[in-house]
Amino acid sequence: MATPPQRIFLTGAASGIGAHLADTFLKKPGHRVFATDIAHDRLRARAHDHAWPADRSELAALDVRDPEAWRTTYDAAIARFGAIDLHLNVAGYLRPGWILDQDPAQIDEHLDINLKGVIHGATIAARHMVPRRSGHIINIASLAGIAAVPGIALYSAAKHGVRGFSLALAQELAASGVAVTVLCPDAVQTPMLDLQVAYDEAALTFSGPRPLTVEEVTQAILTRVLPRRPIELAMPPSRAWMARLAALFPGSAGRLRAHLEAKGRARQAARRAR
């Protein structure tokens, strides 16, 4: 199904899922993208290298941890496009590590970027969309937000928060005409995944047969999330069911962990050897 032209606000657009979403939307006639990232130089380089049309795109630096920056940036987006139809919270942060080794700064980074940044963004988007009685907010969580993942516990905690917040917000806005979807993908081949290769603590991240691609995530958004507006989509199905079972029966997770970690360590080693 073709997606009608939309005015899109996007975080984390300099790389990974966010960058590929911006590339894809801007190849479609009529779509306009207000692309943001804290790494403004990398965002400009992406726009240049992928020939984002200047008449349908706007670039802005945004630190998703800063509520005031959210307000001024969203005001600028509305001034440029008139309104926002689709808001995607994609920006994220991950640094593997056992909890006993983590310092307070890492706790703040994970929760401020991954969770509070999503809450700030979704809230300001909802305040804009509800009076118009239309719009769609998409928050990127993770399968680590369904099943707890040791070794990346701070990321997992933040993504559990994103999922819980999104499900609650979807119910709060259900009668307003504004949809909320939380997308929970397995590991995706992005710079965030490359970073984890060097960390033994992240072995479970690599326990699946292969990582998803940014193309697969984008296609899921275009073909399943936008036309159907589900409250939640977890992918791929086989790993999603495993995560849901682990969440439903947390006592069973420990019995599977050794098996999955062994698979993950082997796949990490293969990636390190490339």
Find the angle CA(172)-CA(111)-CA(65) to the nearest 5 degrees.
85
Q: Measure the CA–CA gap between 192 and 217, rounded to whole angstroms.
A: 15
Compute CA distances 272 → 7, 204, 214, 267, 268, whole Å.
41, 16, 21, 9, 6
CA 87 to chain centre: 12
Angle, helices 237-248 vs 250-272, to 10°: value is: 140
54 dihedral zone (left: phi>0; alpha: psi -120 to 50; beta) = alpha
Beta bridge partners of 88: 10, 138
Q: Do β-strands 86-89 and 32-37 pair in parallel, antiparallel, or remain unpaired?
A: unpaired
Strand arrangement of the beta sheet that strand 135-140 belongs to? 57-61, 32-37, 7-10, 86-89, 135-140, 178-185, 232-235
Catalytic residue at 199? no
Set 74, 93, 155, 199: catalytic member: 155
113 in Cβ contact with 64 (< 8 Å): yes
Residue (of 132, 136, 160) closest to 148 by Cα position: 160
Phi, psi values for residue 12, rounded to 5°: 65, 40
Catalytic residues: 155
